[in-house]
Amino acid sequence: MLHNHKKCVSCGKMFLEIRKSDLCPECLSKEAGSFQKVKDYLYDYPGSTASDIAKFTGVAETLIVKWYEDGRLEKSSIKAVAKCKICGRPITGGEVCKNCLDEMNKPMNKDERKPQMYIATKHEK
Ligand SMILES: [Zn+2]
Ligand SMILES: [Zn+2]
Protein backbone atom coordinates (compact mmCIF):
# COMPACT_ATOMS: atom_id res chain seq x y z
CA MET A 1 0.00 0.00 0.00
CA LEU A 2 1.33 3.38 -0.92
CA HIS A 3 0.20 6.19 1.29
CA ASN A 4 1.49 9.71 1.18
CA HIS A 5 1.90 12.06 4.04
CA LYS A 6 0.20 15.29 3.24
CA LYS A 7 -0.20 18.60 4.93
CA CYS A 8 -3.78 19.51 5.69
CA VAL A 9 -4.70 22.69 3.80
CA SER A 10 -7.04 23.73 6.57
CA CYS A 11 -5.21 23.14 9.87
CA GLY A 12 -1.69 22.46 8.59
CA LYS A 13 -1.38 19.13 10.36
CA MET A 14 0.46 16.28 8.66
CA PHE A 15 -1.72 13.31 7.92
CA LEU A 16 -1.66 10.06 6.00
CA GLU A 17 -3.48 10.43 2.74
CA ILE A 18 -5.78 7.49 2.35
CA ARG A 19 -8.38 8.97 0.09
CA LYS A 20 -7.46 11.70 -2.33
CA SER A 21 -7.97 14.74 -0.15
CA ASP A 22 -6.35 18.02 0.81
CA LEU A 23 -7.77 17.75 4.30
CA CYS A 24 -6.96 15.64 7.33
CA PRO A 25 -9.73 13.28 8.49
CA GLU A 26 -10.66 15.70 11.27
CA CYS A 27 -11.10 18.67 8.96
CA LEU A 28 -12.76 16.45 6.39
CA SER A 29 -15.61 15.62 8.74
CA LYS A 30 -15.86 19.28 9.72
CA GLU A 31 -15.89 20.13 6.03
CA ALA A 32 -18.76 17.76 5.38
CA GLY A 33 -20.87 19.70 7.85
CA SER A 34 -19.85 23.02 6.35
CA PHE A 35 -20.55 21.77 2.86
CA GLN A 36 -24.09 20.83 3.85
CA LYS A 37 -24.59 24.30 5.34
CA VAL A 38 -23.49 25.93 2.12
CA LYS A 39 -25.72 23.63 0.07
CA ASP A 40 -28.68 24.49 2.27
CA TYR A 41 -27.94 28.18 1.98
CA LEU A 42 -27.70 27.98 -1.80
CA TYR A 43 -30.94 26.07 -1.89
CA ASP A 44 -32.65 29.01 -0.23
CA TYR A 45 -30.60 31.72 -1.88
CA PRO A 46 -29.37 30.56 -5.27
CA GLY A 47 -27.07 32.93 -7.10
CA SER A 48 -25.34 34.16 -3.98
CA THR A 49 -21.73 35.22 -4.07
CA ALA A 50 -19.11 33.25 -2.19
CA SER A 51 -18.52 36.12 0.21
CA ASP A 52 -22.24 36.32 1.00
CA ILE A 53 -22.38 32.60 1.64
CA ALA A 54 -19.29 32.83 3.83
CA LYS A 55 -20.83 35.67 5.79
CA PHE A 56 -24.10 33.87 6.49
CA THR A 57 -22.88 30.31 6.97
CA GLY A 58 -19.61 31.06 8.74
CA VAL A 59 -17.82 28.78 6.28
CA ALA A 60 -14.47 30.05 5.01
CA GLU A 61 -14.77 31.73 1.62
CA THR A 62 -11.68 29.90 0.41
CA LEU A 63 -13.44 26.59 1.06
CA ILE A 64 -16.50 27.68 -0.89
CA VAL A 65 -14.30 28.75 -3.79
CA LYS A 66 -12.51 25.43 -3.61
CA TRP A 67 -15.79 23.51 -3.88
CA TYR A 68 -16.83 25.74 -6.74
CA GLU A 69 -13.55 25.09 -8.53
CA ASP A 70 -13.78 21.36 -7.83
CA GLY A 71 -17.28 21.30 -9.27
CA ARG A 72 -18.83 20.08 -6.02
CA LEU A 73 -21.06 23.13 -5.98
CA GLU A 74 -23.05 23.77 -9.08
CA LYS A 75 -21.35 26.51 -11.02
CA SER A 76 -24.69 28.04 -11.89
CA SER A 77 -25.74 28.29 -8.26
CA ILE A 78 -22.94 30.63 -7.26
CA LYS A 79 -22.43 34.01 -8.78
CA ALA A 80 -18.92 34.43 -10.09
CA VAL A 81 -17.78 37.81 -8.91
CA ALA A 82 -14.23 37.96 -10.12
CA LYS A 83 -11.94 36.82 -12.86
CA CYS A 84 -8.69 35.00 -12.34
CA LYS A 85 -5.87 37.49 -12.74
CA ILE A 86 -3.80 34.90 -14.55
CA CYS A 87 -6.05 32.86 -16.81
CA GLY A 88 -9.23 34.93 -16.78
CA ARG A 89 -11.54 32.15 -15.67
CA PRO A 90 -14.51 33.32 -13.65
CA ILE A 91 -13.96 32.77 -9.94
CA THR A 92 -16.16 33.37 -6.95
CA GLY A 93 -13.64 35.22 -4.86
CA GLY A 94 -10.01 35.96 -4.33
CA GLU A 95 -7.70 36.95 -7.13
CA VAL A 96 -6.65 33.79 -8.90
CA CYS A 97 -8.34 30.47 -9.60
CA LYS A 98 -7.36 27.26 -7.86
CA ASN A 99 -5.48 25.94 -10.88
CA CYS A 100 -3.28 29.00 -11.10
CA LEU A 101 -2.80 28.99 -7.35
CA ASP A 102 -1.58 25.42 -7.52
CA GLU A 103 0.81 26.38 -10.26
CA MET A 104 2.16 29.28 -8.27
CA ASN A 105 2.64 27.10 -5.22
CA LYS A 106 4.68 24.57 -7.12
CA PRO A 107 8.40 24.86 -6.59
CA MET A 108 10.17 26.50 -9.49
CA ASN A 109 11.58 23.85 -11.72
CA LYS A 110 12.95 24.20 -15.19
CA ASP A 111 11.31 20.95 -16.18
CA GLU A 112 7.91 22.33 -15.41
CA ARG A 113 7.29 24.72 -18.23
CA LYS A 114 4.32 22.87 -19.63
CA PRO A 115 1.64 24.23 -17.28
CA GLN A 116 2.72 27.78 -18.09
CA MET A 117 2.37 27.10 -21.79
CA TYR A 118 -0.97 25.54 -21.16
CA ILE A 119 -2.19 28.71 -19.50
CA ALA A 120 -0.80 30.83 -22.31
CA THR A 121 -2.64 28.88 -25.00
CA LYS A 122 -5.86 29.12 -23.06
CA HIS A 123 -5.87 32.85 -23.67
CA GLU A 124 -6.10 32.39 -27.41
CA LYS A 125 -9.51 32.40 -28.93
ZN1 LIG B 1 -6.86 19.46 9.19
ZN1 LIG C 1 -6.52 30.99 -13.27
Tell me whether residue 79 is exposed, middle or buried, using C-beta atoms within 10 angstroms of its C-beta: 0 to 12, 13 to 18, 19 or more. Answer: middle
* Residue pLDDT, tens place only, 28-48: 898 899 999 999 999 999 888
User: What whole-number percentage of the chain has pLDDT above 90?
Assistant: 19
Ligand nearest to the Cα of 12, by number: 1
* Residue pLDDT, tens place only, 99-114: 888 888 887 655 555 5
Neighbour tally for 113: CB within 10 Å: 9
Banded model confidence at residue 119, pLDDT cuts 50, 70, 90: low
C-alpha of residue 125 to centroid of ligand 1, in Å: 40
